[in-house]
Amino acid sequence: MAITEKESQISEFKSKSGLKRILSACSYSIQGFQAAWRNEHAFRQELCIVVPAMVVALLLPLPALHRLALVAVLMLLLIVELLNSALETVVDRISLERHPLSKVAKDIGSAAVFLALMLAGITWIVILLPLVKAWFTA
């Protein structure tokens, strides 16, 4: 049976199927977290804030949906930071020379992190403000 041109262009890095694919994906994810921790100051700083904040969010006397929202926006912040770090790494892999398009790509990634951070802050304020007010008026 002849291999078609499209089949011959499939990357050797393309994942396998079944359990091996799942185990490989988990391994790659762990390696990604390790690389982010080792190489990305912003990720480390955010993680040092996000982990305790998640614990606080889960312990607060709030409805489950509110706790979920507090945790979700923190997870979203980490997700966007990881994607921004990946984008910056790819840009740097292409070239370390200063280039206007490289700057635009990195600035857009930074803007995405900023928006995720603002969303997290606003969500926490909106959900916690009534709780804080109740504590001080009780």
pLDDT in tens, 3-48: 666 656 666 666 567 888 889 899 999 999 999 999 999 999 999 9
Q: Are 119 and 50 in contact (CB under 8 A)?
A: no
123: burial class by Cβ within 10 Å (0-12, 13-18, 19+)? middle
pTM summary value: 0.83
Active-site residue identified among 40, 46, 81, 88: 81
Residue 115 has pLDDT above 60, yes or no: yes
Crossing angle (nearest 10°) for helices 41-59 and 64-94: 170
First-to-last alpha carbon distance for the chain, in angstroms, is 78
Domains in the chain, CATH or no CATH each: 41-137 (1.10.287.3610)
Q: Are 81 and 113 in contact (CB under 8 A)?
A: yes
46 is catalytic: no
Q: Are 128 and 95 in contact (CB under 8 A)?
A: no
